[in-house]
Amino acid sequence: MTRIDIPEGSPFGLDNLPYGVFSTPGTPPRVGVRVGDAVVDLARALGDEVFARPSLNAFMAQGHRRWAEVRERIAELVRGDLPDDAVHPVGGVRLHLPFEVGDYVDFYASEHHAANLGRLFRPGSPPLMPNWKHLPVGYHGRAGTVVVSGTDIVRPCGQRKAPGDPAPAFGPSRRLDIEAELGFVIGTGSALGEPVPCEEFAERVFGVVLVNDWSARDIQSWEYVPLGPFLGKSFATSISPWVVPLLALEAARVSTPPQDPVPLPYLRESAPWGLDIELTVAWNGQVVSRPPYREMYWSPAQMLAHMTVNGASTRTGDLFASGTISGPGPDQRGSFIELTWGGKEPIEVNGEPRTFLEDGDEVVISATAPGAGGGRIGFGEVRGRILPARCPAS
């Protein structure tokens, strides 16, 4: 039998208990929970076959009462001794995509980000569009290209055209960027024709992941009118392997910044779902930004209410992301296009002036939040490295 020794101040204490899918050499992927520097094999520890599957979907579909029960049971179990074969050092496991993604929606919920992008993409016009403070603007992304942290990112090829060019050229993106976001994972779906009110957020949403929504700005700016981003985003979206349960984020709940005008009734919250989560963006090992999630204008409960108010159904595994998290400070911006002001104001990374991503670059986004125990809980990280483009002959 094994007892897990949780290091003092670990971001993976009993007030966190994030879920993931892991494998060890020669065994199939299955559900685990992270405790300190260990991964607990839940099928072995709890003897429940729902955890023997290669995704969290079946467990998430069991609903919020079950999520709470299992969380209590795990906290109890890991205080005692566990069978040796139920505990693995985190360094010895491979982490997989933790859930099968249904639909992927990306919002645009940071006022600072939307205003920065407005200034950069539409100079001379008001930074926010007229609809922005009335609804959480969002769009569907490509679910099939959501990948787990650690997956290499091949630089995308595509059409790009600067305003002065006579015609578009084809080639590798020259303005490859990141977007530091949080993603919310639907546990219990909702039927077609049944809007999900803000009040049902915690019943529906199982947990939270870190998201890096890689963005090819040159491809995006040429293609996106009038139907929105497409190939500039769809080549890859990375998520962290650990899904932090919403139940672990009670101590992180805060009010959103004041919303003016007052939102329409379907977007009004009776309890706050702003979240005091601090992100960190590291570019080749150097921290270049600390985006604060508490500054987000729209809460994730409002995003979910909006996404379903037209009767759209949701499914277990649907992922909706916040959009880039940017705070008011210049060192709180969640994308390089903002940090370098469209590439015109390079920042120094390891002593060199940098604007967009170069081949070989690595970006790591991590985050922490206040935990129930008075310390901070961790989200782990979402990591990705840029490989050279492999463009088709042209």
Active site residues: 113
Question: Minimum distance from CB of 35 to its own copies (Å)?
Answer: 32
- Asked whether residue 332 is marked as a ligand-binding residue, the answer is no
**Contact in structure between 45 and 83 (CB atoms under 8 Å):** yes
Contacts of 164 (CB under 8 A, 6+ apart): none
- Asked whether residue 19 is marked as a ligand-binding residue, the answer is no
Residues in contact with its own copies, counted by CB under 8 A, come to a total of 67
**DSSP single-letter state for residue 317:** T
**Contact between 325 and its own copies (CB under 8 A)?**
no
- Tell me, residue by residue from 66 to 105, as one string, x for binding to its own copies by CB under 8 A and - for no binding: ------------------------------------xx-x
Question: Minimum distance from CB of 109 to its own copies (Å)?
Answer: 12
- Asked whether residue 302 is marked as a ligand-binding residue, the answer is no
Which is nearer to its own copies, 1 or 225 (by Cβ)? 225
**Contact between 121 and its own copies (CB under 8 A)?**
yes
Give which of 202, 213, 143 is closest to 363, Cα–Cα. 213
**Contact between 1 and its own copies (CB under 8 A)?**
no
| Rounded CA separation 277/273 (Å) | 12
HEC secondary structure over 354-368: ECCCCCCCEEEEEEE
Which is nearer to its own copies, 236 or 244 (by Cβ)? 236
User: Under rule CB under 8 A, which residues in 262-291 are in contact with its own copies?
Assistant: 264-266
What are the CA-CA distances from residue 264 to residues 129, 136, 198, 361 (Å)? Answer: 18, 12, 12, 44
Largest CA distance in the chain: 70
What residue spans of 2-88 are helical by DSSP H? 42-46, 57-60, 64-79
Strands 38-41 and 87-89: antiparallel
Binding residues for Mg(2+): 213, 233, 237
Binding site for its own copies (CB under 8 A): 102-103, 105, 108, 121-122, 129, 131, 134-135, 137-145, 147, 154, 156-159, 161, 167-168, 170, 192-193, 195, 197, 216, 219, 222-232, 234-236, 261, 264-266, 306-307, 309-315, 318, 390, 392-394
